[in-house]
Structure 1
Amino acid sequence: MATATANRPRRRLTLGRGAAYLGAWAYALMLLLPLYYLVISSFKDNAEIFADPLLPNGSLSLDKFGTAVRDARLDLALLNSAAVTLCALVLVLVLAVPASYALARAKGRTAAVVERIFSLGFLVPTFAALVPTFLLAAETGLFYTRTFVVLFLPATSLPLAVVLLTQFMRTVPDEVEEAARMDGAGNWTILLRIYLPMVVPGIVTVLILSFLAFWNEYLYSLVIIGPDQSQRTLQVAVPTLRSTLSTDFGVLSAGTVFTLLPVYVVYALLQRRMEGALMGGAVKV
């Protein structure tokens, strides 16, 4: 009787783990299904897509990808998106890292107020700044240029970057900084040689989150840069594959997959650092 009673919690634990694993795999399949649909549709024509939407047709021809790249100039759009994203990421780090260091080591009410102001940036919806941004681009003469988008995108990511990096920098012991100052190190030396190596997981997390936001940005790229092939980004170029008369959904799917590949590559390369950063932050909290 006692043995049977003792085995009940174990069975419940086993059943609970089984249900958790089953739910996790079901959720993963739900996330992979749209990607699977896009990939197999990239090798089909319209009739095959509508007849058997979830069945592969057995053809591995890359003609649809070639047509998408040629018709929408996705190769040029890829370079534009990469240039805009990389420049914006550099600006985010250049602005967020010193600001986070200052807030992490500042004392008093002023620092707390400044940090709360950065936190308020989460409450501002992106589309709410569209009209002022449009007018500012026109006044500065940067309309229809990638330069203005490069300068604007970091502003959308700075609140999250500063708040997140500030929390990471607060985990650095004060004794480490005091020892460095006793050796004659200045603020910039302490930031670059002590803080940066210790908050690399936080920086990687900011880079991934900002990269996803910048790479997938559509509204401001469409309004500010416009449809010019020499300037437009991937997110603006892909919808041009759709026609009001007749759309080849296989070509459109191939173009969409083309835009997703860099995201998967970047995440695959940096996912372990990001997961380690999130787990480390959870443990520290």
Structure 2
Amino acid sequence: MTAPAVARRRRSRPRTTPLMGLAHVVVWLYAAALVLPLYFLLVSSLKNNTEIFSAGFALPPEWRFDNYLKAWSFTSLGDALLNSAYVTIGAEILIVIVSIPAAYGIARSDGWLGKLVERSLALGFLIPGFAALVPTVFLAIGLGLYRTREFLVLYYVAGAIPLSVILLAQYMRAIPKELEEAATVEGANRFQILVRIYGPLVMPALATVLLLNFINIWNEYIVALVIAGSTIDTRTVQVALPTLVTNQLSQYGVLAAGTIITLVPVYLCYLLLKKRMENALISGALKG
């Protein structure tokens, strides 16, 4: 190998600096902080109380898969999963129907009204959920929707609109106006432009919005407990899960198994949407 070739090879070889080494250590520590609790939860779901407290991180000496059957039957977890799916999917559909036209109007508004609406939506982040809990209960009672899943859907939609609209509006602003102008020349109306042009282009940002809202709605507990209650017909999975803990006896292996069951839909949603969400993050970085 000639001297110039050796020099080029040395120049192309990446240099390892102390800062890069520290960054790798931090990344691995962060990964361990995420994986270890999940591993502990998984192995605990296959143990009894004695095995959990004596050797928490060890593999179970006996694989107790019946813990999952107990968690499913003790709390009627199937009904709770259906209630959570009904509330979450219903809220997601309404969020998409409302957020996309609202974001389009804000993104293409050059006047003061669009800015005022966007800033008003941003004020929604300043209102804590607990502050609105009592008025929300009174509103549900006044509408005759107290102890119903339908009011939960409306509540979650109202809470998710500010973030959803602002994220989608920021993404829509990056779409060239020339595409809309060309479609208008071809005779397309506003609805056709929104569905055929903006719809496919905002799919990565929409996937991010759907995933964030899915996690927030699926895991919400306080409002679901207060509004829908703890009856089997209306309670969500997060309200049903704590009923596995009793004053007389708590089977933590069964509780861990129930927790694993409730996590499965979240991971499935992430697997379905992660590719588009990653595309949104990459395109946002490139535009920035």
Q: State the TM-score, normalizing by the size of structure 1.
A: 0.94
Match of 1:74 in 2: 77
Q: CA deviation at 1:273?
A: 1.5
Q: What CA distance in whole angstroms lies between the structure 1 residues aligned with 2:63 and 2:197?
A: 51
Q: Which runs of 5 or more structure 2 residues have no equivalent in the other structure?
A: 1-9
Go from structure 1 to structure 2 and tell me whether the alpha carbon gap of 1:136 and 1:212 turns closer, same or farther (over 3 Å shift).
same
Q: Which residue of 279, 283, 286 corresponds with 1:280?
A: 283
Deviations 1:60-100 (A, max 9, x none): 33100100000001111111111110000001001100000
Is 1:118 the counterpart of 2:118? The answer is no
Match of 1:4 in 2: none
Q: What CA distance in whole angstroms lies between the structure 1 residues aligned with 2:60 and 2:203?
A: 45
Partner SS state of residue 265, structure 1: helix
Match of 2:90 in 1: 87
Moved over 6 A (4+): none
Partner SS state of residue 13, structure 1: coil
Q: CA deviation at 1:17?
A: 2.6
Is 1:137 the counterpart of 2:103? The answer is no
Which amino acid is 1:268 matched to? Answer: L
Q: CA deviation at 1:104?
A: 0.7
Which amino acid is 2:257 matched to? Answer: A
Deviations 1:96-125 (A, max 9, x none): 000000011111111111110111111111
Percent of aligned positions with the same letter in both sequences?
A: 48
Q: Which runs of 5 or more structure 1 residues have no equivalent in the other structure?
A: 1-6
Q: Which residue of 130, 154, 162 corresponds with 1:127?
A: 130
Match of 2:29 in 1: 26
Which amino acid is 1:172 matched to? Answer: I
Q: Which residue of 216, 219, 232 corresponds with 1:216?
A: 219
96-105 or 257-266, larger mean C-alpha shift: 257-266
Q: Which residue of 104, 109, 134 corresponds with 1:106?
A: 109
Q: Which residue of 145, 166, 173 corresponds with 2:176?
A: 173
Q: CA deviation at 1:12?
A: 6.5
Is 1:242 the counterpart of 2:242? The answer is no
Count the aligned residue pairs.
279
Q: CA RMSD in A?
A: 1.7
Q: CA deviation at 1:267?
A: 1.0
Q: What CA distance in whole angstroms lies between the structure 2 residues aligned with 1:119 and 1:268?
A: 29
Q: CA deviation at 1:201?
A: 0.4
